[in-house]
Structure 1
Amino acid sequence: MGFECYRIGDLLLDAGTQEVTRNGVAVPVPRLSFKLLLSLARHAPNVVSTEQLELEVWSGLVVDRGTVNKRVLLLRRALSDGKAGEQDPYIAVVRGSGYRLIVPVERVLPSSGEAVAEETGEPNWWQRNAGFFRTVSYSLLGIVALLALYQGFQNADTDSITASPAGSAQALAPDAAVYSRTSIAVLPFVDLSDDGIHQYLGDGLAEEIINLLAGLEGL
């Protein structure tokens, strides 16, 4: 299965070589701007929301709207053919919704530039659920990291008490454990799948981790 390639107006985007060309001449596009253009091409002519761009361009990292707007501006400048002052012929801002391409977009064969009539196949089961398995893997790694961090704090507290001189006020203070209590914040996990149908799993894992940590002494 080959890489994606799109004809966007007078531009040609090749996901395999990560290049954008106009009439055979390379158009320099920064990496994030390239991913943004690819995302817009995949969904053309539909509007792509800021949330969807966060998922596809920033790999699920939550960014503010100003960051997205700045990246769109940089992409517009990169695609500009030098005609300053004219309205951007490629990207439209749909207020309150997102962004979309306003030029004809068609998927073509890499290198040849010939249009593809329709998709030749569907992603397999592993590809469709890749985001699900990434979410589970990151969640398990997070649990292991939290438990290791907690164990480290416990060992540090034990060493501190053992090293204290017998009869010292610090060793005998009844509320010392209370004031040295460790706090850990557990944030919701992000579903990295394309359709977001596994978000419930991320929410459930976060809840389970909170319940697990709540039962540990010292937290």
Structure 2
Amino acid sequence: MSQVKGLCVMDVDGTLILEEVIDLLGREAGCEEVISQITSRAMRGKLDFESSLRKRVSLLEGLPVSVFDKVFDSIHPSPNTQKFISILQKNGILVGLVSGGFTPIVERLAKSFGIVYFSANQLEVKDGLLTGKLVGQIISPEVKKETLEQWREKLKLPKERTIAIGDGANDLLMLKSAGLGIAFCAKEVLKKEIQHHVDKRDLLEVLPLIDCLE
């Protein structure tokens, strides 16, 4: 890729992909309904993200790490994801993923789309089983924002050359911190605060909003 002219940071669950991975893991743990209800409320801004994440992760205790293979095979990228990312990369816009989801899935997604920059939550594993705990830094709404800013500084880009795309309440700070924040098929809490919306689930619909492709 030629010189980096811009940075586009994307949320993963509900944005890059159709599904919420935590809900799929919940299905494997036999508690999908409980987890999906908590996820839905958290994404609408009705619950504190970090405490709700810890609660959902605690319900995954005992799942084998092999569950990530099964879950990865059952997720679907949003329409035209690969084409969208390729167009950005060809135009010198580096794409990064910041997710409140989990590294075993996000890392694979990043590799499949030729993305180098990514950040996600790490689940604790002992003897090949999930312990129901998280390790390391939690990718909270504040950390999503800070990650975008750290990558921007590393790339020596001005704020106006940054784009952030997300769908949930936990993306709000990141979208506000970018030069261009785009609410993609987003919850009402996000659409109320963010000027630019794309309500059709097709990432190519985002392109007309991005003026740094010239």
Q: Under TM normalisation by the shorter chain, which class is it?
A: under 0.3
Specify which structure has the bigger relative contact order, considering alpha-carbon pairs within 8 angstroms and separated by 6 or more residues. Answer: 2
What TM-score do the two structures reach when normalised by structure 1? 0.22
What TM-score do the two structures reach when normalised by structure 2? 0.22
Structure index of larger Rg: 1
